[in-house]
């Protein structure tokens, strides 16, 4: 318990690195999971293990177990992915005792893919047919836009929109920004009242990635042979320069996200908007309880007036690990878990998961007005945003390293050393180096 967060991260990274090295050394012996696995149902009853980090997932699993006596699933929960579960998955894959199924966020999937940790479920009955059941871009995240490939079943998603203090905007006669240009103007007006329009969180590189995603940028690509790394593409630099300008002019605050300081800024009206994902609705509601009823949600500001683009922040999938003896049954469970309305309702209630399944967007719980947001049916905004997320954005195989390097740069940029664009350039170099160090082919 005394371990500091930093020390824990370092320790975890070390462990992950050791595991990775181990994996690539032993890689020759493992069968190539890239070929669609032979996916036949088992004869008798099977037992599956499933590791996730959603508290309350056991109850959802119980519902499945009751209806499927022949496919019994044992659900287990632990820390979140980057908090140690991914490192554990890699260790377990190396030791040959990984669970059958595991929760993996979209940005970590490529890492498991390049380590041959995932079973291609494309040949499992019903999996390819399910493609239409999921929002397009989420399917792209789990298939890496390859044909005949499905490496996981999408679970939840984080389409982004803008949370804003409706009361404060109205009281001060400031128009709700619909473009980023208007947002910058509004930022000046808000600053004139003594508050900040939002907080640019130095550590949350995922949020930044979501903004780049919205702008139409991509950070990675894979042409089948080589990975492309492009952290410094035009769109990324445009987004970085935009926020750098707001930081330079002291129009946004820069406290670390998810801290009491940060909660307090929202609770006391010192920050007026938050560009965040659907699951963020609950973060504000519990972090800023004194502001109940005063918030609203609108579509994200656009780069060009009239555009309809949205970014995505977060979201995870259910994958079947190499070594599972029952990929067929595992795939059936994963499909049910992530597309049946019964399961999706429970997941939403337990952990505010916002579904990746098309029908999930119409769940009754997601149609109601939300009291904290003045009874606005806020999820309608997110449902629309979900349809506007580009399917082209691809994550790289070493995201933990990329996140760490870029967020280190962001932290210095926020304190006046260098710029956000510099941080991206550094991240670009170090990511290419990291890929090379792991013998992952990379185009330059």
Partner 1 sequence: MSALTESSVARSAKRVKTTTPAPKVAKESPLSRIGAMTVMLVFTLYFLVPIWWLFIAGTKSSSQFTSTNPLWFADFNLFANIGNLVAYRDGVFLKWMLNSALYAGAGALLATLFAGMAGYALAKYRFPGRELLFNIVLGGVLVPATALALPLFLIFSQVSLTNTFWAVFLPSLVSPFGVYLTRIFASASVPDELIEAARLDGAGEVRTFFTVSVKLMFPALVTVFLFQFVAIWNNFFLPLIMLRDETLFPVTLGLYAWNSQVNQIPELRGYVLIGALLSIIPLIILFLLLQRFWRNGLGAGSVK
Q: Would you tell me which residues interact with partner 1 (CB under 8 A)?
A: 1-3, 8, 11, 15, 18-19, 49, 51, 53-56, 76-80, 83-84, 87-88, 91-92, 94-97, 99, 258, 260, 263-264, 267-268, 279, 282-283, 285-290, 351-352
Q: Please, what is the minimum distance in Å from the beta carbon of residue 326 to partner 1?
A: 18
| Closest C-alpha among 154, 201, 115 to residue 389 | 154
- Name the token pair of 12: 């975890």
Q: Is 326:129 a contact under the CB 8 Å cutoff?
A: no
Q: CA–CA separation, 432 vs 430, rounded Å?
A: 5
Nearest to partner 1 of 22, 221 (CB atom)? 22
Closer to partner 1 at the Cβ: 3 or 171? 3
- How many Å apart are CA 387 and CA 137, to the nearest integer? 8
- Judged by beta carbon, residue 103 or residue 244, the one nearer partner 1 is 103
Q: How far is the CB of 278 from partner 1 (least distance, A)?
A: 11
Least distance (Å) between residue 175 CB and partner 1: 30
Nearer to partner 1, 24 or 189 (CB): 24
CB of 87 to partner 1, least distance (A): 8
Give min distance, CB of 156 to partner 1, in A: 10
Residue 394 to residue 137: CA distance in whole angstroms = 10
Burial of 9 (0-12, 13-18, 19+ CB in 10 A): middle
- Min separation Cβ 65 and partner 1, Å: 16
Strands (E), 265-353: 273-277, 295-299, 316-320
- 5, 158, 181, 378 from 176: Cα distances, Å: 38, 22, 12, 16
- CA 15 to chain CA centroid, Å, is 23
Report, in Å, the least distance between residue 352 CB and partner 1: 6
**CB of 289 or CB of 441, closer to partner 1:** 289
Nearer to partner 1, 1 or 132 (CB): 1
| Residue closer to partner 1, measured from CB, 80 or 178 | 80
Q: How far apart are CA 224 and CA 109, in angstroms?
A: 16
CB of 133 to partner 1, least distance (A): 24
Cα R_g (the chain), whole angstroms? 22
| Per-residue H/E/C for 316-332 | EEEEEECCCCCHHHHHH
Cβ distance to partner 1 smaller for residue 71 or 87 = 87
Q: How does DSSP classify residue 177?
A: P
Q: Are 159 and 280 in contact (CB under 8 A)?
A: no
In the complex, what is the shortest distance from the CB of residue 95 to partner 1, in angstroms, rounded to a whole number?
A: 3
Q: How far is the CB of 176 from partner 1 (least distance, A)?
A: 26
Task: Give the nearer residue to partner 1 in terms of CB position, either 84 or 210.
Answer: 84
Give the Cβ contact number of residue 274 at 10 Å: 28
**Nearest residue (CB) to partner 1, 2 versus 129:** 2
């Amino acid at each position: 318990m005394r371990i500091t967060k930093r020390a824990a991260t370092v320790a975890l990274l070390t462990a992950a690195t050791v595991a990775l090295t181990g994996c690539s050394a032993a890689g020759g012996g493992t069968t190539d999971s890239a070929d669609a696995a032979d996916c036949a149902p088992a004869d008798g009853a099977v037992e599956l293990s499933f590791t996730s980090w959603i508290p309350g997932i056991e109850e959802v699993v119980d519902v499945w177990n009751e209806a499927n006596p022949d496919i019994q699933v044992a659900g287990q929960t632990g820390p979140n992915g980057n908090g140690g579960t991914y490192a554990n998955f890699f260790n377990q894959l190396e030791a040959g005792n990984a669970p059958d199924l595991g929760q993996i966020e979209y940005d970590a999937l490529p890492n498991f893919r390049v380590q041959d940790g995932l079973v291609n479920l494309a040949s499992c009955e019903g999996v390819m047919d399910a493609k239409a059941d999921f929002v397009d871009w989420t399917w792209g995240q789990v298939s890496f836009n390859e044909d005949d490939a499905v490496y996981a079943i999408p679970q939840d998603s984080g389409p982004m929109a803008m949370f804003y203090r409706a009361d404060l905007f109205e009281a001060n006669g400031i128009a709700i920004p619909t473009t980023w240009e208007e947002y910058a103007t509004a930022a000046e007006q808000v600053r004139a009242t003594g508050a900040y329009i939002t907080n640019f969180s130095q550590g949350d590189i995922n949020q930044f990635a979501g903004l780049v995603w919205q702008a139409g940028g991509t950070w990675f690509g894979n042409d089948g042979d080589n990975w492309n790394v492009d952290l410094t593409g035009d769109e990324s630099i445009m987004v970085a320069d935009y926020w750098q300008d707001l930081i330079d002019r002291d129009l946004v605050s820069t406290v670390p996200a998810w801290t009491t300081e940060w909660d307090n800024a929202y609770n006391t009206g010192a920050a007026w908007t938050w560009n965040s994902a659907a699951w963020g609705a609950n973060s504000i509601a519990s972090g800023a309880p004194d502001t109940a009823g005063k918030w609203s949600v609108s579509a994200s500001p656009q780069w060009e007036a009239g555009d309809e683009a949205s970014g995505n922040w977060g979201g995870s999938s259910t994958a079947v690990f190499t070594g599972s003896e029952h990929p067929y049954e595992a795939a059936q469970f994963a499909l049910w878990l992530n597309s049946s309305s019964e399961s999706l309702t429970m997941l939403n209630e337990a952990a505010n998961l916002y579904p990746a399944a098309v029908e999930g967007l119409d769940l009754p719980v997601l149609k109601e007005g939300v009291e904290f947001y003045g009874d606005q049916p806020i999820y309608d905004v997110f449902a629309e945003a979900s349809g506007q997320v580009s399917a082209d954005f691809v994550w790289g195989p070493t995201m933990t390293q990329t996140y760490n390097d870029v967020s280190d740069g962001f932290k210095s940029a926020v304190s006046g050393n260098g710029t956000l664009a510099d941080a991206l350039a550094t991240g670009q170099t170090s990511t290419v180096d990291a890929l090379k160090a792991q013998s992952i082919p990379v185009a330059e």
